[in-house]
Amino acid sequence: MNFNQYIEHTLLKPDATKDELVKLFDEAILHKFYGVCVNPVNVAFAKKYLKNSDVRVVTVCGFPLGANVSEIKALEAKRAIEDGADEVDMVINISAIKDKDFELVKNDIATVKKACGKNVLKVIIETDLLTQDEIKEACELAALAGADFVKTSTGFVKNGVGAKVEDVELMYKTVSDKGLRVKASGGVRDAQKAQLLIQKGASRIGTSSSIKIIAGE
């Protein structure tokens, strides 16, 4: 299977150096990956470096906890787009989902989507921290709020599994008829798992193991 156009080649660790970012960008260009996913502070650098390629620049907001107020998340998204981000991956208010404060969750997503305008917004629901019912609810709220994707994980939950096949399948079944797509990320480290996730409905794979995956390892 050709995974290249499914992959967002990802480097979100807090101590990422310029040399590591350049390596990420060069690999994305060489292998024609869909995009790179970097922290907001690196968006302008990424956009400049990748300007003559087809590689999209993806970034995050409210990351990794989702615990910022909506206005701050929206400002983050707006600035990231001004800096050159093509797509934004936001973390939902996870506590509000647990508290069943669904209006807050929906408004939080809608506020960021308004800031994104025509740019793609992906909503990270952090599946490791949610029940199956909460995953379904979060996906439905993302759809109501006008998001473009739902995404499994930040990859930052301690002892978290990340993208699980059954969660991706549930997410896909919940949103596919509403026009949203699914991004699987967190713990996707080999070709076999990537293929399974795609078969169950993932349109995009966020991973730092991209080279291993396309090598079939």
DSSP 174-198: HHGGGT-EEEEESS--SHHHHHHHH
Given 83, 89, 108, 148, the catalytic residue: 89
The yes-or-no answer on residue 183 being catalytic is: yes
Given 73, 122, 164, 183, the catalytic residue: 183
Which phi and psi (to 5°) does residue 164 adopt? -105, 140
Given 73, 151, 164, 193, the catalytic residue: 151
The yes-or-no answer on residue 118 being catalytic is: no
d(CA 190, CA 35): 18
- What are the tokens at 57? 């620049």
The yes-or-no answer on residue 151 being catalytic is: yes
Strand pairing partners for 55?
none
Which phi and psi (to 5°) does residue 61 adopt? -145, 150
Q: Annotated catalytic sites, by residue? A: 89, 151, 183
